[in-house]
Amino acid sequence: MHALLGIDIQNDFCPGGALAVAGGDAIVGPINALMAQFEAVILTQDWHPADHSSFASHHIGKAPFETVDMAYGAQTLWPDHCVQASQGAAFHPMLAAERADLILRKGFRPAIDSYSAFFENDRKTATGLEGYLRSRGITELTLVGLATDYCVNYSAQDAAKLGFRVIVRTDLCRAIDLGGTLAVAEREMQSLGVMLTSEG
């Protein structure tokens, strides 16, 4: 089975949001149109408590996009975003979220961030997505969403390492691209056999 995995298509990652990705809203309509081509649709949702450790506001003297060392390694600090049950954490209003077979919320543990749909940033704590996919007989994933160089990238790499066939629709993703992070992410994904394509 082949599933569409839509990553973090939420208000805070779209124009006007707390951590807006340029053009993030432009992919919503095409993603809706793509859903019917897949046997399963899975959506992820960043879902942070208000005191999340990845928020720069919780580190005295630190600004968004600076890096700090956490117990699990280096962590980029972000503006407060996707706070649980807030409007910013909601899916983009035009996203056909009702068509999802599964909505997976991540990043809800206060002490650890979660870019990947499969693992927290300690690279060990599983979200449960792998088990769900295997129980459904899903072996192939096409990823779309936000942002290419962070949550899409980490999710694609983990899926490939777990043995899934992975495609990233780069035309249906948008990147933050902090100092060349997009180019690095694309190289890393391709090195693991992830197929990057701009068409179905």
Which residue numbers are catalytic? Answer: 8, 106, 151
DSSP assignment of 124-164: -SB-SHHHHHHHHT--EEEEEEE-IIIIIHHHHHHHHHTT-
d(CA 41, CA 34): 10
**Strand partners of residue 69:** 74
DSSP assignment of 20-68: PPTTGGGGHHHHHHHGGGSSEEEEEEE-B-TT-TTBGGGSTT--TT-EE
